[in-house]
Amino acid sequence: MRKPRSTAMLTNNLSTMLGMGVVLLLALSGPVRGQRTPTISYITQEQIKDIGGTVELECSVLYANDYSVHWVKTSSDRSDVVFLSTGSSLVLKDSRFSLRYDLSSTSYTLQIKDIQETDAGIYQCQVVLSVTNKISGEVELNVRRPPIISDNSTQSLVVSEGQPAQMECYASGYPVPQITWRRENNAILPTGGATYSGNVLNIHSVHKEDRGTYYCVADNGVSRGDRRNVNLEVEFAPVVTVPRPRVEQALQYDMDLECHIEAYPPPAIRWLKDSVQLSSNQHYQLSQFATADEFTDSTLRVITAEKRQYGEYICQATNKLGEAEGRVEFTESVIPVCPPACGQARYGGGASAISISSVLMAVATVLTMVAIAQYVKRT
């Protein structure tokens, strides 16, 4: 028997409505399940603290009653992981660390007292969903540290004149230290100005005037900062100057011939006359005095000048970078030049030489005795 058309239509409508209801129910039930997935609703932002201070790191979670919550410390490159707590229990055995759990806000607060430099790092709040799945939030703790200049910074440098020079300075610390360069006695830097900021100080072409001590100063506002002295030595060819290019002295008197040498490395110095190198003997005395690494004073003393000792003398200085010389003309005078002749005149020479001071002393003694005798005679 055939059903009426109205009955069939009613049955189809009911089936359609039932299907739509199931779909609607599934759609409504989906979001409800999603809201029950654990989430981290709040975590403390980046912290910057001083050594010895205290910090609190808070992590609030939702829908995590049935899941394990951990605090974990890791390094910046994630290579070193340390578990600090699980649930409301602290795992780390360190009296500086403590954990506080607030049931009403489901927050886990990690407190660190007496902060040390090693406490710096990334702290993660983790909710473990499964063996292979977890959600996490992280906060970075930075600890202010005074600058320490690294050992890989330049300590000393030796450069030949005209060559480039590069001095480097690096420092650790937090905040990141600023590097400033300056010279001893605030002398002008080869780059211009009294100071230069940057890790690397470049000198494109070194001059001998650039030699000396440079200061690398690292500062980040924590403590007094750090400083390193960098010694720059510049190798250069000798420069010879003669303070008295022409000197004169009477026969039988001593005379000093001088030259000043500026060079690095220290040069070999010699005196020549008529292309013959001189040495200390009964006619000459050689002496040298280094006033600094780069400065040397050389003196040639002519002893009891003779006719053959007058003429041109050459002061010659040589190092690996070059050679220089200065000339002194030694001539005869009628009157002895003082110094160094004062009280050193010789008559006759040899062991029987009589100094002018001895003659004057004898004359003074005779005159005194004559005066005394005359005084006694009158009385």
pLDDT for 359 equals 43
pLDDT for 77 equals 80
| In the chain, domain spans | 39-144, 150-236, 242-332
Strands 134-149 and 121-128, how do they pair?
A: antiparallel
Low-confidence ranges of the chain (pLDDT < 70): 1-35, 341, 343-379
Q: What are phi and psi of 18, to 5 degrees?
A: -65, -40
The β-bridge partners of 227 are: 217
pLDDT for 29 equals 40
Q: Would you state the CATH architecture of domain 150-236?
A: Sandwich (2.60)
Whether pTM exceeds 0.75 = no
pLDDT for 351 equals 36
* Nearest of 318, 323, 342, 316 to residue 256 by alpha carbon: 342
Distance CA 211, CA 204 (A): 14
Q: Which helix (H) or strand (E) holds 109?
A: strand 107-112
Euclidean distance between the first and the last CA atom of the chain, given in angstroms as a whole number: 192
pLDDT for 377 equals 64
Instruction: Enumerate residues 6+ apart whose C-beta is below 8 A from 334.
Output: 250
* Residue 343 structure tokens: 């009280």
The CA distances from residue 18 to 5, 14, 23, 24, 32, in Å, are 20, 6, 9, 10, 22
pLDDT for 343 equals 61
* Residue 258 structure tokens: 């001088």
Q: Would you state the CATH architecture of domain 242-332?
A: Sandwich (2.60)
DSSP assignment of 182-228 = EEGGGPPPTTSSSEEESSEEEESS--GGG-EEEEEEEE-SSTT-EEE
pLDDT for 292 equals 79
Which superfamily does 39-144 belong to?
Immunoglobulins (2.60.40.10)
The SS3 of residue 80 is coil
Within this chain, domains 150-236 and 242-332 share the same CATH topology: yes
For the chain, the C-alpha Rg in angstroms (whole number) is: 47
